[in-house]
Structure formats: structure tokens, C-alpha cells
Amino acid sequence: MFRGGVHPPGHKEATAGSAVEWAPVPARLVVPMSQHLGAPCVPTVAVGDRVSRGQVIGDIEAMVSAPVHSPVNGTVAEVGTTLTAAGMTVKAVVIDADEAQELESFVPVPDTGDARARVRGAGIVGMGGATFPSVVKLTPPKDADVHTVILNGCECEPFLTCDHRLMLEQPERVIAGAKHVREIIGAKRVIIALESNKPDALEALRAAADDTIEVVALPTRYPQGAEKQLIYALLKTEVPHGKLPSAAGVLVHNVATAVAIADALETGKPLTERIVTVTGSVARPGNYRVLLGTLVSELIETAGGLVGDVERVISGGPMTGMALGSLDVPVTKGMSGIVAVPKGMAAPAIADDQPCMRCGRCPQTCPMGLEPYALATFADRRMWDAAAKRNVLDCIECGVCSYVCPTKRPLLQLIRLAKAAAMAKGVKS
């Protein structure tokens, strides 16, 4: 078991039993050109162009990038900008969808016999929230001996159940994805890991797997699904400081990403939709298969609308997600959940930095062995070099420090600020 961590209430009961259902096709979709880590795409279409579902509408030649595809058949109404869930303004293609859609058909990614090229062509990125282009992960350094592939189905964030339902409803596709990734990498061992609070998914995966794939249940503990913590929990191997998991001979993919890879390699399907958990204070919590570019406001209406006194709407889970400043932001490849937080459950609004009472809880629970209180203090005082020397870039932004802080200091937000400053100065982890 990894060090630190916490046991927040799961709050998964509202949607864990809800089968995935399609959300309606919106009349208009707003498709951001930046839905991944790395270089943003450049629109390849113009206003008035007819586009087909699966057609590339944005791309760029850069090592860390992923093309963007039209989720529908329709007409380009606008090429402009949009606000994202992260609060950034990025380029976007706005598409008016045709009234009649055939969601089972799409423009396939050409098959040139190169699996990595097809994964890249399908625009697949890490769907657990990291949004790192999958083709880059599938191309480890030449000197790396990647012997083990781990599919991450832990979904340790409270409230979220989209991966749970995927593993339960499509276990054979998860297994197919695991085998494709194993073949591309040439790994000898494949492990699918999930937390023990999903016994039905565990049973479904074990029934679908053959004896070349291990399906492992881990104790429920946050952040079990964090990459380095998961590797240690399964293999008792630590990823060297400042290195990627490939340095430890391991490759980790989210289960939804693995399914997208299987779809791309077997049918040429590009990434144009994803499952999103919509829960909290909404009338009809559930797991919805949503076309990318659907506005969050429309998705909430699909879930019956907000109910009660909602204090905050969060994109992602409550531990690592971000509060939305506007509901008119589009669903993107890395958006796993929308949580409407009722009044009284959300952390208090930040008026100013609260004092540290030196209780020691944050360093005791930090899964990376950092000193969050000190990093936050350095960030508050704009002492970026001091934060860098205390390994601020090792922070995995799990939010455990903020969760345990008795004075509710905005530790995670301050540490994110310090990380951004360190990276802007060229500091490497």
C-alpha cells in the first residue's frame, strides 16, 4: 500500500447502479481545439463547410498532440473561441448538427498497418482526466524495458462512476483494449486494477479475461488511482524521482482509454464521445454517453436540471476537479464527471489565505511525501525557487492536503500556482 491517503465518503450510490445511456444530440456543438496536454490543434475547416461524423476538423504537426474530429454530421457555423472548464479561452469549431444523425456510422481513421499511427489519428488521449496523448505513452523511450501494462479502473474520486459502469457493461472491450496495448508495447504482463468497492465490475472483468490477464482488487483508499501510487500498490515498485512510469518498466492507461484504443484499432473509430457521470443535486443522476462539444448546461438539463440550493458545480471529481465559472462550457475528452454540490457540502469560498496551525496533517497524508503547508506558504509569498527546491513539481494534485486541512487553506490551489510558476521558469521535476 502506498503512503498517506485518505478515505473520503464515496457518494457513488446515486449513479453506481445507473446504466449508461446516450445524451441527446445537441442542435449546436462547440468543439475545442485543445482537449489534450500539448500543442493545441489548428482548425482545418471553415465556416459553411459540411462535416461528417468522425472527420478531422483540427490538427497540428507536433509530437505531443492529438487531432480533433467532428462528433456529428453537420455544418460549420463558426470558427472562433470558447471558454473551457479549466477557465481558459481556446480556439473552437462550432457545428450545427443535422436533425437526423446516425451515431453508429463515422469516417474511419485510415489503417496503414501502423497501430500507433491509427491511435494518434483517432485523437485518443488519457480519458481519466490527464488528457496526455495516448500515442506518446505508447512510444516509450528506446532504452525503456516496459514489461507490465496496468489498466487503471480504480476510479477513486468520490461521486464518479463512469469507469465503473464501463467495466461492468463492456468488460470484453476493456479486455480487448488491454490486449491491444500489450501487443503494441510488447509487454509480458497485463494487470487490470480496480478498487474493492466495485465487486460487480470485478466479477464481470474476471469472467471476460483469459489467463493471460490479471484482474486485481485493491483496498478502497484515495488516491489509489494515481499513477505512481497504483504502480507501488501493485508491484511495490517506485517510479524514480522526476521520471515517467516507463522508467520503472510500467505503462498505465485508464480503462476508458483502453476501450477507445480497441475501437480505433478494430474499426477505425475516432474519439468523438465519452461517458460522463452527472450527479449531486440534479433531478436524474446518471451516467451519460455524451458527444464531445455538448455544453455542460445542456447535459445538466438531460439529467433533469439542478435541484435544491446548489453552491457549486464541479467538472471532474470533488478532490481534483475544478469549480465551473460558467455552465456554458463544452464537454471534452478528459471530462469524466459533473458534480452539482449542494450548499453546506462544498468547501468554504476563499476570501483570503487562512493561517497554518502547524497540525502536521498534510505532510502525514500526502501520498508523495511532500510538505504541502510549506509549498503553499512559498507560493503565497511568491517564493517560486524555494517551492521548486522542495519538489513542488512532484505534486500529483490529488487534493488530499486541502481535504485534511482543519483551517481549509487553499493548499492545492496555491501549489498549482507554484507548479505553474516553476514550469514557466523551466524547472524540471
Read off the pLDDT of residues 255-311 as tens digits, 9 standing for 90 and up.
Answer: 999 999 999 999 999 999 999 999 999 999 999 999 999 999 999 999 999 999 999
274: β partners: 290
Write down the pLDDT at residue 19: 98
Closest C-alpha among 273, 99, 117, 274 to residue 184: 117
Distance CA 148, CA 231 (A): 10
Which pTM was predicted? 0.94
Distance CA 210, CA 339 (A): 36
**Digit-coded pLDDT (tens) for 104-142:** 999 999 999 999 999 999 999 999 988 999 999 999 998
Cell numbers standing for residue 411: 493548499
Write down the pLDDT at residue 429: 62
Write down the pLDDT at residue 350: 65
Q: In 264-384, at which residue ranges do the beta strands (DSSP E only) sit?
A: 273-280, 286-291, 310-315, 322-323, 337-342
Write down the pLDDT at residue 352: 66
Distance CA 317, CA 339 (A): 7
Q: Which residues contact 291 (CB under 8 A, 6 or more apart)?
A: 23, 25, 26, 29, 71, 72, 272, 273, 331
Write down the pLDDT at residue 108: 98
Write down the pLDDT at residue 130: 84
DSSP 183-250: HHHT-SEEEEEEETT-HHHHHHHHHH--TTEEEEEE---BTTTSHHHHHHHHH--PPPTT--GGGGTE
Write down the pLDDT at residue 40: 95
Write down the pLDDT at residue 285: 98
Phi, psi of 275 (to 5 degrees): -90, 135
Phi, psi of 50 (to 5 degrees): -80, 135
Distance CA 77, CA 283 (A): 32
273-280 and 337-342 beta bridge pairing: parallel
Asked if 278 and 10 count as a contact pair (C-beta separation under 8 A), the reply is: no
Distance CA 54, CA 253 (A): 23
**pLDDT < 70: residue spans in the chain:** 348-353, 428-429
Handedness of CA 221, 153, 33, 318 (dihedral sign): negative
Residue 5: half-sphere exposure toward Cβ, Cα within 13 Å: 18
Distance CA 27, CA 373 (A): 47
Write down the pLDDT at residue 353: 64
CA distances from 155 to 90, 96, 246, 315 (A): 28, 34, 22, 15
